[in-house]
Amino acid sequence: MPDNNRGALSAFLARISRRSVLDGDEIEAILSLPTIEHRVRANQDIVRLGERIDHACLVVEGLVGRFGQTSSGERQIIALHIPGDMADLHSVVSPLVTVPLQALTASTIIRIPHVALRKIAARHPAVATAFWRDCMIDLAIMAQWLLSIGRRSAKARLAHLLCEMALRYEQIGACSSEGFLFPATQNHIGDALGLTAVHVNRMFGALKRDGLIDVKGREITINDGKGLAAVSEFDPAYLQFEALDLHQR
């Protein structure tokens, strides 16, 4: 029995609105979406490989990842999703799961039926465009990760990820002046960067020794954002922080 949860949906709406211009009807359509709340433990699967799903997952709290896996058990995190992200929005048009979804930390997510999302996309072309555009942000992020993993040193990779996550957390108001809480373990970070946890640890040490960051538990403080961006050649343009009105009304 679907519920409705305007609070959680407004975080998603905020993410969408950051990149697309919507009018009142369209906003109301999003906020009225039916929702089913779920709580998941750390390391618990949310959607499994090969399933055919009929709902998308919006992250309300916690940290969620999409995973690739080799038969020898090595994992590669394909994408990280923080609160406000619809981790699965692409599944609306691609319901056969080729990349599973798992909670990295205890998380609360809400499920939104595909039919409801398809209905408002069909009724409001600007919403369809906004959803499509939102998925393209993930694509742009993955392209940068590909560049990082393919061509950057371990230290630059880690610095790049920290720059990206700091900005993304800042967008949702979870990055104070110079620090943010990043609940991923060094194991998770290794899986995201194509490195081992041991080497991630050493690279954290290197960045600390360079005076660029400080780490206390899961709390990361950035002492020198310029420097961190410099070692990783970080350019935030790919995160596309500007609202476009692409739908000619």
Partner DNA sequence: CGCGCGTTTGATCGCACTCAACCCGCGTGG
Partner DNA sequence: CCACGCGGGTTGAGTGCGATCAAACGCGCG
**Which positions touch a copy of itself (CB under 8 A)?**
50, 66, 68-71, 74-76, 78-79, 90, 92-96, 98-99, 115, 118-119, 121-122, 125, 128-129, 131-133, 135-140, 142-147, 149-152, 193-194, 233, 237-238, 240, 242, 244, 246-248
Q: In the complex with a copy of itself, which residue's Cβ is closer, 8 or 13?
A: 13
Q: Which is nearer to a copy of itself, 149 or 167 (CB)?
A: 149
75 interface partner picked from a copy of itself, DNA, none, CB below 5 to 8 A per type: a copy of itself
3-state secondary structure of 122: helix
Long-range contacts of 218-226 (CB under 8 A, 24+ apart): 218/181, 218/182, 218/183, 218/184, 219/179, 219/180, 219/181, 219/182, 220/162, 220/166, 220/179, 220/180, 220/181, 220/182, 221/178, 221/179, 222/162, 222/166, 222/178, 222/179, 223/178, 225/163, 225/166, 225/178
Question: Taking CB within 5 to 8 Å according to partner kind, which of a copy of itself, DNA, none is near residue 50?
Answer: a copy of itself
Report residue 58 as tokens.
């919006």
Contact 15, 85 (CB under 8 A): yes
Tell me the per-residue interface mask from 150 to 189 with DNA, x by CB under 7 A, - otherwise. Answer: ---xxx-----------------------------xxx--
Contact range with DNA by CB under 7 A, out of 26-34, 59-67, 122-130, 193-201? 193-201
> Shortest CA distance to 87 belongs to which of 53, 123, 41?
53
> C-beta of 41: minimal distance to DNA in Å?
11
Residues lying near DNA in the complex (CB under 7 A) = 42, 153-155, 185-187, 190, 194-199, 201-202, 204-205, 215, 218
